[in-house]
């Protein structure tokens, strides 16, 4: 027991987590000093469950009805002909080997091309329908829109929105207002829910990149809360939410077959993404955390971890920006949104789609 306590004492050492000459007692929240309370980080976990339940209800009773009214089918369009023998093989392997294919050709007196087509259609049948993808995007669009608007209302009268240096003045003795508390807790709950639901949502090629993104975001929010650096955290959230709104709207337009709206939204999304993720984020926020903060704060180990995680996000932004610019070039020549590299991981060419940060091929 003494060994565990010794480890915890070393782990939570103020020398690691706080600026020099600051102790945890100095940041103990009271009625007069409502500092960030690390114990509140448990609240987003039940909130994430509630958010997931809300999502299920909205997808089933609201978004699915909107999708069907827009003409989106509940099931994938083409269904393979019933075949008990092929179904039995499919239950064992989704992609028969050449030897198995030859055996099936002889057994069923079917051509290899016909059998291959049956397996492709059968695979497509098991993949999420366009309506499922539409509902997933609709939920995210609703959240990002609500989060961005709430973030604007929350930060509109905060001095650090206009002067980012105010994130560091008097740090870490910065009280947390009620609206900032909710902004943080709900954002953490959302990313916790995404991290869990990602394993059941539409599976895409960039699954692990997005998984790293969600874990990095959760770590950043949690670390900044523990270190009472919530002001810079609110700015990071605000910058990230705005482009995601247009992304999800673009995907919804694509799924609904509204190609003109999809094209226009993609252009707006690409411009806003580049402006915020590789413009505002590195040259305003990262510049402040890397250079500006040193004028006000004596650096400490946890701060370097926090800043490193911010650069991990920038690295992911650069990867996705390259993909978006590649799409934009294709769009300029083709006149419509073309396929990208982040469609479903087991695509058949029939159900390509957008993913969390970019666009894909027209379904015409």
pLDDT digits (tens, 9 = 90+) for 295-327: 999 999 999 999 999 999 999 999 999 989 988
- pLDDT at residue number 77: 59
- CATH (residue range 84-126): 1.10.10.60
Under 8 Å CB-to-CB from 51, ≥6 apart: which residues?
A: 189, 190, 193
Q: How is residue 91 annotated by DSSP?
A: T
- pLDDT at residue number 74: 75
- pLDDT at residue number 199: 77
| pLDDT surpasses 70 at 243 | yes
- Number of neighbours of residue 238 by Cβ within 10 angstroms: 21
Under 8 Å CB-to-CB from 38, ≥6 apart: which residues?
A: 225, 226
- pLDDT at residue number 341: 34
**For residues 293 and 296, what is the distance between their CA atoms, to the nearest angstrom?**
5
Query: What are the pLDDT digits (tens) for 130-179?
Result: 899 999 999 999 999 999 999 999 999 999 999 999 999 999 999 999 99
| pLDDT surpasses 60 at 328 | yes
Average model confidence (pLDDT) across the chain: 85
pLDDT band for 83, please (50, 70, 90 cuts). Answer: confident
Determine which of 118-132, 153-167, 243-257, 333-347 has the lowest per-residue pLDDT on average. Answer: 333-347
The neighbouring-strand residues paired with 204 are 344
- pLDDT at residue number 345: 39
| pLDDT surpasses 60 at 211 | yes
Under 8 Å CB-to-CB from 89, ≥6 apart: which residues?
A: 96, 100, 104
- Number of neighbours of residue 124 by Cβ within 10 angstroms: 21
More confident residue, 94 or 179: 179
| pLDDT surpasses 50 at 252 | yes
What percent of the chain is predicted at pLDDT more than 70? 88
Portions of the chain given CATH number 1.10.10.60: 84-126
- pLDDT at residue number 81: 76
Three-class DSSP category at 204: strand
pLDDT band for 356, please (50, 70, 90 cuts). Answer: very low
CB of 155 within 8 A of CB of 161? Answer: yes
Q: Counting beta carbons within 10 angstroms of the beta carbon of residue 83, is it exposed (0 to 12), middle (13 to 18) or buried (19 or more)?
A: middle
**For residues 59 and 137, what is the distance between their CA atoms, to the nearest angstrom?**
10
CB of 312 within 8 A of CB of 211? Answer: no
More confident residue, 364 or 40: 40
């Amino acid at each position: 027991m003494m060994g565990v306590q010794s480890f915890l004492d070393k782990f939570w050492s103020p020398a690691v987590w706080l600026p020099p000459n600051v102790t945890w007692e100095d940041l103990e929240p009271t009625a007069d000093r409502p500092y960030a309370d690390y114990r509140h980080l448990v609240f987003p976990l039940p909130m994430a469950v509630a958010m997931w339940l809300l999502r299920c209800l909205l997808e089933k009773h609201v978004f699915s009805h909107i999708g069907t009214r827009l003409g989106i089918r509940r099931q994938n369009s083409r269904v393979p002909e019933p075949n008990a023998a092929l179904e039995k093989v499919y239950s064992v392997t989704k992609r028969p080997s050449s030897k198995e294919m030859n055996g099936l050709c002889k057994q069923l007196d079917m051509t290899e091309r016909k059998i291959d087509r049956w397996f492709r259609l059968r695979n497509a049948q098991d993949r999420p329908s366009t309506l499922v993808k539409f509902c997933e995007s609709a939920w995210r669009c609703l959240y990002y829109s609500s989060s961005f608007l709430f973030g604007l209302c929350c930060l509109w009268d905060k001095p650090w929105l206009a002067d980012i240096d105010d994130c560091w003045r008097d740090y870490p003795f910065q009280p947390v207002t009620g609206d900032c508390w909710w902004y943080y807790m709900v954002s953490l709950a959302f990313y916790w829910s995404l991290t869990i639901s990602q394993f059941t949502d539409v599976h895409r090629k960039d699954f692990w990149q997005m998984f790293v993104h969600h874990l990095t975001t959760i770590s950043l929010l949690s670390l900044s809360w523990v270190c009472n650096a919530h002001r810079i955290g609110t700015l990071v959230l605000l910058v990230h939410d705005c482009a995601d709104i247009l992304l999800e709207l673009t995907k919804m337009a694509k799924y609904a077959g509204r190609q003109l709206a999809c094209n226009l939204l993609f252009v707006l999304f690409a411009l806003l993404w580049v402006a915020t993720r590789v413009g505002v984020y590195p040259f305003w926020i990262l510049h402040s955390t890397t250079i500006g903060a040193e004028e006000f704060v004596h650096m400490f180990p946890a701060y370097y971890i926090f800043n490193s995680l911010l650069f991990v996000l920038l690295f992911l932004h650069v990867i996705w920006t390259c993909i978006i610019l590649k799409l934009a070039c294709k769009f300029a020549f083709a006149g419509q949104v073309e396929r990208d590299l982040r469609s479903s991981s087991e695509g058949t060419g029939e159900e390509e789609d957008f993913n969390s940060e970019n666009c894909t091929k027209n379904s015409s």
